[in-house]
Amino acid sequence: LAAADATLRELSRDDGAALRAANRHGEALRRGIEELGRKHGVPVLASGFGAAFAVHFTEKAELKDYRDTFADNKERLRRFLYRALQEGVIVVPDGRFYVSAVHGEREIEQALDALDRVFATLDQTVDVPASVER
């Protein structure tokens, strides 16, 4: 509880400046990922908000409920996760991204540069080691 209390105090300091910054940087990353998908002809939708969002490799323009995620291209997500890890971008195994208060513009740029390389090779055959998969 002490850690949760300290976190909440830190996030609310300066009228929530740290959380606003994390949301702003996360939104830039979310939009950037969708732009990279368009650039490379890969249908991707990033759902969520600011500091917490998930990527979905789907033709859908919008997700209305959890059933819409059933159409996600799981193989493409698997390759994306593996290639992102190779490029130094750690993504939760179901495609979720979390941006924290320590991520700034520089880190977002670095992540987008790395993800640009991922999208460029995303549809190439990749042997994902079994130890990487769930």
Instruction: Assess whether pLDDT exceeds 90 at residue 124.
Output: no
| pLDDT computed for residue 26 by the predictor | 97
Read off the pTM. 0.87
Order of strands across the sheet with 96-98? Answer: 45-49, 52-56, 96-98
| pLDDT computed for residue 24 by the predictor | 96
Instruction: Show the tokens assigned to 67.
Output: 């059933």
27-74 residue pLDDT tens:
999 999 999 999 999 999 999 999 999 999 999 988 989 898 998 999
